[in-house]
Structure 1
Amino acid sequence: MFPRDFAWGAGTAAYQIEGGWQADGKGPSIWDTFCHESGNVFGEQNGDVAGNSYELWEKDLECIQLLGLTHYRLSLSWARLLPDGTTRHVNQKGVQYYNKVIDDLLACNVSPTVTLYHFDLPQALQDQGGWKSPGIAALFDNYAKFCFQTFGDRVKLWITINEPHVCAKLGHEDGLHAPGLKEKGTAAYLVGHNMLRAHATAWHSYSSVYRPEQKGAVSLALNSDWLEPSQQGCKEDVAATERDLAFTLGWFAWPVFVTGDYPEIMRSAIDAQSRKLGHSGASRLPRFSNDDPTILGTADFFALNYYTSRKVKSGGGCGQTLCMKSDRDAEEVLDSSWPICGASWLAVAPDGLRKLLKYIKDTFKNPAVYVTENGFSQVGLLQIEDVQRCEFYKETIMEMATAIQEDGVDVRGYFAWSLMDNFEWADGYSVRFGLFHVDFSDSKRSRTIYRSGREYARIISKYKSGQSK
């Protein structure tokens, strides 16, 4: 049901698991700053220690081996490698840490999939304007080239930026993520624009300088729910769904995979709302200039983070306020048949993954796809025997197999989120996604496999051995 070289993985991110926030010369990131300000995170929690993977990497490696993973997705902490965000000062302790992680993985026949940026911008660069500054693209490119030069001889799958949509909207429109800005209707579009410029610049650097020898592949990880009209026969709902998809997946996928520019439906909606509210001047959605790198074609595969689905109705804007919600003019609702797992936003809809994969094939020129995140959360009472999550993984992987076999989608790999319970951003430690439970009350941060971890290991073993049932 899956190719023999299919990538079976799990993922983590540096700030969510490493801890060691001041250890061995690491500089502060925007998430260090955000968490240390009161009122931003559930229970005033932070990632200062988290799972303490900086000191307990060998324990993580044992978990990876127990699952039988072929691939492990990790992110590099920009501030651990380059404390001020620039190559003027390289933190060799950080380099040594990631060299050990990568070398240990390869020694266990596990391929590292490395994300350069997973939400944790060095605070020194935020102080200079962060992702709102046009100069951030060159700074990111320098960081990326440093990583390609330092680790690229052993890394074959690279992701430049994880979920630019989340970084832009939650961090700069809604203020729910670091750096906590609420500049509605403007900053998120600018941030997304600069992230695309940064990604494309780094992709071109890899392609021209490093690819001939290293022979790796580079993309960016895009998150998207599956969206479908609340009423299939309602023209307004159908149009709202198209608009919603353009403002989420299309925002970044359209420039990279289709035209080199934003979806016209997105720009038209933003400009129409600007006219309606009397916003004068240039479009709030920036335009690429001749000085920018070519955006089209800057992905060697499609990296998809999928968690849930929504039905879409027309409307749902925020009145006369300039904001992304008004620009989008679409309301997302839950289907009552979808169970909710843990986090209130996470409706369980495994078939949405198959539908989204088919949409990606049809819309974005049938790319090779890696599902780089997908998971099921727990909140409240701890359940090591997490039967529901076991069923979720079985159903989701079957839907992915159907997408490959019946829809002809070129899916190359699947990464469960996440290897272990971790710091889940604004939710702190109240939400658990791990295949391994981490006891955050224990100074040793003990790891215990969930039943779902055993189930995922069984699935991996079955398909790695070539069984079809």
Structure 2
Amino acid sequence: MQFISVAVFCLVFIPSWCLENLVFPPDFKFGVATAAYQVEGAWNVNDKGESVWDSVLHSQPSLTMDRSNGDVACDSYHLWRRDIEMAVELGVNMYRFSISWPRLLPTGFPNIISEDGKRYYNDLIDGLLEKGIEPVVTLYHWDLPQSLQDLGGWANPLIIEWFADYAKIAYTLFGDRVSTWLTINEPLVVCDGAYNKMWAPFLDDMKIGRYLCNKNVMMAHAKAYRIYDEEFRPLYHGKLSMPNIFFWFEPETPADAEVSDLLLQMWEGRYSHPIYSKTGGWPPEIEKVLAENGKREGYRQPRLPTFTKEEIDFVKGTYDFYALNHYTTRLVRKEKPGQAGPWPFYGCEELDVSVVNDPLWTTAVTDWFAINPEGLRKQLHWINSTYGVKDILITENGLPTVEKDLNDFTRLTYIKSNLEQILLAIDDGINVMGYTAWSLMDNFEWSSGYLVSYGLYSVDFTSPNRTRTPRDSARFYYSVIRTRSITSRQNELNYV
């Protein structure tokens, strides 16, 4: 299949973009991403265990907007060769995917290692490496084994060891070929989302369960990092991090600056300050606010569990780079008690703030997704100045649409604008290692089911073969990767 001439595309569709020649550094990596439950399907093939998403959507299908689930999804379990082929077509340097914990360990514990699960991930990893594409592996992307949820899930401190055992199995099986690992994807969603009835297992416990989960995911990540650092890094010299979803927040007015900073710490700080800061532990201002809230509400113990000195030291420094999932920017406004909101901006109720949209920003399919690429550059500066990290990897960035058209000009523009902001940040002196587009293809988009699409490739979910077709955003991304630049002066580029 042939791509349209990029020069013609630029001239006809985007003449305002034809003014600059922005070049990426030689070592900058481009990637795409998916997650196991969203694409694999084969939910009960062979000895695979049941995940929390399998369990809850089979018993309560109304939890998704279209009453769908990930039983088949993109059928990547069977069509993984086509997935690799798409990555080759795009020319990416890396493909980020996740391992399904219950596919590899059917009971959730290391007493049984699935031969089928091991074969599937070996095939995928080997297939990528044969094409010169680096596998970037996420250990946990929200599909907790239901067997572990039955024991309390992320609110049970024993999960620290359960996750560590799982991580060690993955390192042992695949560490000789995987050099970049991501531990727990978006812990904010794992805790604040799952305990706010928005993600599986759809619990309702924002006062206690959310914060028990918060501490346990930090400890589990740190345990998995320490195991790799001590036992596997000397052998394989890989790198690890934990991807945070981090929306950028700005004050609506100068008077809102303090609460805007607090919301940044509520979202990002709770899941990053213990790892990346020089002092470790919880962000002091958030720990203070939550302690005051809990005391006022009659709790005798802090709702946010405290770290011991040993735990602070154990978690602090457990990273090799900062992994950032970025999507949107919002303005923050101080409110009277009881008027905070709206979803999905977790923490507003603790801080008595609301998040609003700047009228100058356009929105995507939902009004919470404001499009403001400049926020990404500001965010990168904030991470760099707050934590002093040397390297940042964009592990997710993408735009949702409800249209299934191949002409996805809005997504194309979004990707281009964010890449431009990354280049500006690099020019500012911030080392952004690479960019990962979310996502490679349309997939099961959690509570939205199949009604919302993020894919560079369209997927025909009515086809037995789940036919994948490149959108214009894929064509644009390919041209950027091929030339390593954003420019109008590009040669004819053929889609191989």
Q: TM-score range by the shorter chain?
A: over 0.9
Against the structure 1 CA distance between its residues 468 and 261, is the aligned structure 2 distance closer, same or farther, given a 3 Å change threshold? farther
Residues 343 and 378 in structure 1, CA contact (< 8 A), matched pair in contact too: no
Residues 426 and 432 in structure 2, CA contact (< 8 A), matched pair in contact too: yes
Q: What TM-score, normalized to structure 1?
A: 0.95
- How far apart, CA to CA, are the structure 1 residues paired with 2:74 and 2:138? 19
2:115 to 81, 92, 116: 92
Q: What TM-score, normalized to structure 2?
A: 0.90
Percent same amino acid among aligned pairs? 39
Alignment of structure 1 residues 302-451 onto 2, 5 Å = 302-315=322-335, 317-318=337-338, 324-379=347-402, 381-405=403-427, 407-451=428-472
- SS of 1:393's equivalent in the other structure is helix
- How far apart, CA to CA, are the structure 1 residues paired with 2:390 and 2:356? 29
Alignment of structure 1 residues 65-464 onto 2, 5 Å = 65-172=88-195, 174-231=196-253, 233-234=254-255, 237-258=256-277, 259-277=279-297, 279-289=298-308, 292=311, 294-315=314-335, 317-318=337-338, 324-379=347-402, 381-405=403-427, 407-463=428-484
Q: Which amino acid in structure 2 is aligned with residue 423 of structure 1?
A: F
Match of 2:10 in 1: none
Match of 2:7 in 1: none
- SS of 2:46's equivalent in the other structure is helix
Residues 125 and 177 in structure 2, CA contact (< 8 A), matched pair in contact too: yes
After superposition, the C-alpha distances for 1:14-38 in whole angstroms (9 at most, x for unaligned) are 0000000001211000011121132
- SS of 2:413's equivalent in the other structure is helix
How far apart are 1:316 and its partner, in Å? 6.1
Residues 339 and 352 in structure 2, CA contact (< 8 A), matched pair in contact too: no
Residues 260 and 294 in structure 1, CA contact (< 8 A), matched pair in contact too: no
How far apart are 1:315 and its partner, in Å? 2.1
Number of matched pairs = 461
Residues 242 and 323 in structure 2, CA contact (< 8 A), matched pair in contact too: yes
Q: Which amino acid in structure 2 is aligned with residue 301 of structure 1?
A: F
- How far apart, CA to CA, are the structure 1 residues paired with 2:373 and 2:40? 30
Q: Which amino acid in structure 2 is aligned with residue 217 of structure 1?
A: K
Structure 2, gaps ≥5 residues long: 1-22, 341-345, 491-496
After superposition, the C-alpha distances for 1:37-60 in whole angstroms (9 at most, x for unaligned) are 322111211000000000001111
After superposition, the C-alpha distances for 1:117-174 in whole angstroms (9 at most, x for unaligned) are 00010001001110000100001001001101110111111000000001101101x1
Residues 227 and 312 in structure 1, CA contact (< 8 A), matched pair in contact too: yes
- SS of 2:183's equivalent in the other structure is strand
Against the structure 1 CA distance between its residues 182 and 68, is the aligned structure 2 distance closer, same or farther, given a 3 Å change threshold? same
Is the counterpart of residue 9 in structure 1 residue 31 in structure 2? yes
Residues 267 and 347 in structure 2, CA contact (< 8 A), matched pair in contact too: no
Residues 407 and 472 in structure 2, CA contact (< 8 A), matched pair in contact too: yes
- How far apart, CA to CA, are the structure 1 residues paired with 2:310 and 2:146? 27
How far apart are 1:464 and its partner, in Å? 7.7
Moved over 3 A (4+): 290-293, 316-320, 464-469
Against the structure 1 CA distance between its residues 137 and 171, is the aligned structure 2 distance closer, same or farther, given a 3 Å change threshold? same
Against the structure 1 CA distance between its residues 440 and 132, is the aligned structure 2 distance closer, same or farther, given a 3 Å change threshold? same
Query: Per chain length, whose mean CA-contact separation is higher, i.e. which structure has more relative contact order (CA < 8 Å, sep 6+)?
Result: 2
Structure 1, gaps ≥5 residues long: none
After superposition, the C-alpha distances for 1:388-423 in whole angstroms (9 at most, x for unaligned) are 211111111011000000x21110010000000001
